[in-house]
């Protein structure tokens, strides 16, 4: 009975490790982190995989990848990820977004003068992720750029200071 309880604890430890690491973790890393034998780890991982496989209502699964074991979102839930978590923006893109937000709206031509030609790609990325919108200028060839409701919701900003 004590041995079964130990396996349960090991399974829980592995689940926590996979969750906290957030990326595939090798058998060797798990052995090192738990101070357990590779046989015990393999047994506990199989149990953990089985537990997740038999939970019909779980959004998560434990899978073996070439890089190691991973606790990940099931493929049926991937669309939620796209809607809830925006892409990781690099510093330049975040600065471009900040420039747009602080001027809101700003002419794309003025943005390019301030941020440089690299801002064209950053604007595309921000449009694709729904943080800004683009509308044609009534007179002229440039576009007005402005932040969207998604920007305000994501950054929890009701209104920017004027």
Question: Could you read off the pLDDT of 9-61 as tens digits, one per residue?
Answer: 899 999 988 887 777 899 999 999 999 999 999 999 999 999 988 887 788 88
pLDDT confidence band for 87 (50 / 70 / 90): low
- Domain annotation covers residue 159: no
pLDDT confidence band for 131 (50 / 70 / 90): very high
> What integer pLDDT is reported at residue 35 of this predicted model?
94
> What integer pLDDT is reported at residue 155 of this predicted model?
73
pTM for the complete prediction?
0.49
Domain-terminating residue out of 81, 111, 127: 81
Look up residue 136 and give its two tokens.
Answer: 């044609």
Look up residue 78 and give its two tokens.
Answer: 């991937």
> What integer pLDDT is reported at residue 60 of this predicted model?
86
| Same domain, yes or no: 72 and 98 | no
| Same domain, yes or no: 99 and 145 | yes
Query: Alpha-carbon distance 162 to 152, whole Å?
Result: 15
| Same domain, yes or no: 62 and 127 | no
Q: Verify cis geometry, omega within 30 degrees of 0, for the bond prior to 105.
A: yes
Q: Taking CA 137 as the corner, what is the angle to CA 135 and CA 142, rounded to the nearest 5 degrees? A: 90
Domain count, the chain: 2
What residues contact residue 35 under an 8 Å CB cut-off, 6+ apart?
Answer: none
pLDDT of 1 strictly over 50: no
Output the CA torsion sign for 150, 155, 156, 159: negative
Domain that holds residue 117: 86-154
**CATH number, residue 8:** 1.10.10.10
């Amino acid at each position: 009975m004590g041995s079964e309880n130990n396996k349960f604890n090991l399974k829980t430890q592995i689940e926590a490790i996979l969750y906290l690491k957030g990326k595939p973790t090798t058998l060797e890393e798990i052995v090192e982190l738990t101070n357990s034998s590779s046989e015990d780890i393999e047994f506990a991982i199989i149990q953990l995989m089985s537990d997740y496989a038999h939970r019909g209502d779980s959004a998560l699964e434990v899978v073996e990848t070439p890089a190691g074991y991973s606790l990940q979102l099931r493929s049926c839930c991937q669309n939620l990820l796209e809607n809830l978590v925006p892409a990781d923006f690099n510093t330049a893109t975040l600065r471009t977004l900040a420039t747009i937000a602080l001027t809101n709206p700003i002419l794309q031509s003025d943005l390019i003068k301030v941020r440089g030609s690299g801002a064209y790609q950053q604007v595309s990325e921000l449009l694709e992720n729904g943080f800004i919108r683009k509308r044609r200028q009534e007179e002229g060839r440039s576009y007005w750029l402005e932040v969207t409701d998604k920007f305000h919701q994501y950054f929890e900003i009701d209104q920017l200071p004027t």
